Amino acid sequence: MTTRDRQKVLKAAMAAVRECADTMETQAASLLQALPTVPMGEGLRTNARVLSEGLKDASSRVTFELALLQTELVEGKADAATVVQRLSGMDALMMGALAGMADLADLLEKAAEHDEENERAFVLVIEASGVLLQGLEQAKAATQALRAATPTASGK
């Protein structure tokens, strides 16, 4: 693979992680806006709000880290192996923020089985989780492609 090809893969990986962070920010904001008006128990509402705020925080941290990484690349202070490592960390950070959403969805599903009023909250969380998982999978796949294209990052 040529250096130019590696650069394209690097840019694609950074763009995929950025897009995932942007999607996370959008979904979190949407959930935070909808939560006050959606029927659900206060414990579940608090849990959903905390998880949504965690998504926003993770998104902000990834966006900040991407900006730092971009600056380091421009200044020649980061190589492709470093980028792979840092992008992998960002992927993990976003996955960690998303992990609690599955538990919340389970709780909301059980609540909806007992009271149909909770169904809208369940649907909101499931839809947001689906969008976030899809974005995260794309980011992880792009990071993995960069790892494969970077000899020192893949152990070649």
Mean pLDDT of 29-50: 94
pLDDT at 36 over 90: yes
- pTM of this structure: 0.90
- Rg (C-alpha) for the chain, rounded Å, is 18
| Mean pLDDT, residues 61-84 taken together | 94
Confidence of residue 154 (pLDDT cuts 50, 70, 90): low
For residue 146, pLDDT beyond 50: yes
Dihedral over Cα of 115, 116, 120, 125: its sign: positive
Q: Mean pLDDT across the stretch 13-30?
A: 97
Q: What percentage of the chain exceeds 90 in pLDDT?
A: 85
Q: How far apart are CA 69 and CA 83, in angstroms?
A: 7
**With bands split at pLDDT 50, 70 and 90, how would you rate the model's confidence at 156?**
very low
The pLDDT, as a whole number, for residue 150 is 87
